[in-house]
Every structure is written in C-alpha cells, then in structure tokens.
Structure 1
Amino acid sequence: MSNIAFPYSIDSAGRTGLTDTASHVRDLVEQTLLTSQGERVNRPTFGTGLMQMTFAPNSAEVAMAIQFLIQGALQQWLGDLVRIEQVNVVAEDATLNVQVQYVVLATQQRETTQVVTGVPS
C-alpha cells in the first residue's frame, strides 16, 4: 500500500510522491516527536513538546519526564498504527537523544527511529 510522502513532493512523472508503509509510519513518528503542542490549530494537544526542551535545562530527570511524555503522545496519536516497545531519552551535554522502537501493526515489522535535538558539542 502506498501513502503520500512527507515532506510533500512531486515524483518524476509529475504526480504526488508516494512512500511505503514503513516509511510513512516513520514519518508519522517523527512528526509526532517534532511537533510542539499548540502548533496545530485543529489539534492543539498533538505533539510531544520535545522541541520546547531544546533550550531548557538538561538533566537525567528531565530526560525521564520527556520519555513518559513521548510514550504517551505516541500511544495516543499513533496507537492504531504502531505498538510502542521502547522509548529511550538520553541527556548528554546540550542534546537530547531520543530513540523509539516500535512494531508497525500492518506489517508486524520492528522499526527504530532516532531524533537528536539541541546543540551538538
């Protein structure tokens, strides 16, 4: 099954770019992680608030709190597409390294997505 690619693109035939299920779900996970709550007008609670933490004080406790926020948001918004197996958030210097392991329910494939925010040292 093909899905519309994100970010939106035009393919070589001049049609809307398409992507496979695994890539589409990965794009949805990344969108959920990188969208701040309140950013989407019609879904003000969508997102994780991860990007708001870019310039906030960084510690292991903050990373743990963000881990729970991320897991809750992914289960709320993508629970019908994926089964979240593990969310790891590691605070290092001025960065947050987020790794999400999940199973795509349509294909039963295990996938991992990683997002790093902040200023790498």
Structure 2
Amino acid sequence: MTQHVHFPLQFDGRGRTRDDDEALWIRGLIEQVLFTVPGERVMRPDFGSGLRELVFAPNSPELAATTQFLVQSALQQWMADLITVELVEIDVADSRLSVNIQYSIRRTGMRYQENFQQGGG
C-alpha cells in the first residue's frame, strides 16, 4: 500500500507521520502548487504558480483570464501524472483570491471540485 504523507506535515495519535487517503493527498499537492512562489524552493526554483502575488493586483477581466491560464498551466506541468484538470475558475474580491478547480484523479477516475482561498475575507 502506498503511503501519502499529509500536508502540512503532522503526526498522528501514535506519534507517527500522519497519512492521508489519495484524494486528500492530491488536494494537498494542488495547494502546494497553487500557493508556492516560484523561487521559493531551492532545488526546484520553477515550482509553483505565482498565484499569491496576484491577490493585490488590480482586478480586471484580463487579470482573471491570465490567472486562470497561469493556474491551469502550473497544474498541468506539476500534476499531469496524477490528475486531469477539467475546469479552473478564479474569483478575486478585494484582497481575497478564490480558486475553484474541477479535476479527476487519473488512477481512479474519481472527479472532485475543490475551492482554495488566499488572503483576507
């Protein structure tokens, strides 16, 4: 059985590394791709999406389209072996960024819709 380490790293009640089922593990990986700033990881300087920098950018239809493209590209680059991205929707209001992603897990075919948020509310 494959172990999927929980993100962020935690310990379970027995003092061992907490594991997740595949769906929660993949959700954690997506979150890492979305909210990691390129250059933040020393050994993978191009990892991430740069999404956090866009929270305070002036809101416009062009920014929403660019952000949607940025997120979809990053997910396809870093997660293509695990998921198929079906839909990415971006909502920016004041300093809150909401990303709605619809995807399916390649191994099981199960479909999920997840919402990720960054910033104040």
The TM-score normalised by the length of structure 1 is: 0.92
SS in 1 for 2:53: helix
1:26 is aligned to 27
Pairing 1:77–2:102 present: no
- The CA deviation string for residues 32-78 of structure 1, in whole angstroms up to 9 with x for no partner, is 00111111111111111110112221222101101001000000000
- The answer to whether the 8 A contact 1:67-1:89 is kept is yes
Q: Which moved more, 1:108-117 or 1:25-34?
A: 108-117
Q: Structure 1 residue 95: deviation in Å?
A: 2.6
**1:49 lines up with 2:50 in the alignment:** yes
Question: Unaligned stretches of 5+ in structure 2?
Answer: none
- Distance across 2 between alignment mates of 1:10 and 1:111: 26
Q: Is the 8 A contact 2:37 2:49 kept in 1?
A: yes
1:1-21 Cα distance to aligned partner (Å, 9 max, x none): 431111111111111111100
- The answer (yes or no) to whether the contact 2:36–2:48 under 8 Å persists in 1 is yes
Q: CA RMSD in A?
A: 1.3
Aligned to 1:98: 99
Question: Which deviates more, 65-74 or 90-99?
Answer: 90-99
CA distance in 1, matches of 2:117, 2:14: 34
Distance 1:93 1:30 in 2: 21
1:100 CA drift (Å):
0.7
| Runs of 4+ with >4 A deviation | none
User: What's the secondary structure of 1:19's corresponding residue?
Assistant: coil
Residues 90 and 11 (structure 1), Cα distance of their counterparts in 2 relative to 1, 3 Å cut = same
Local SS of the residue matching 2:44: coil
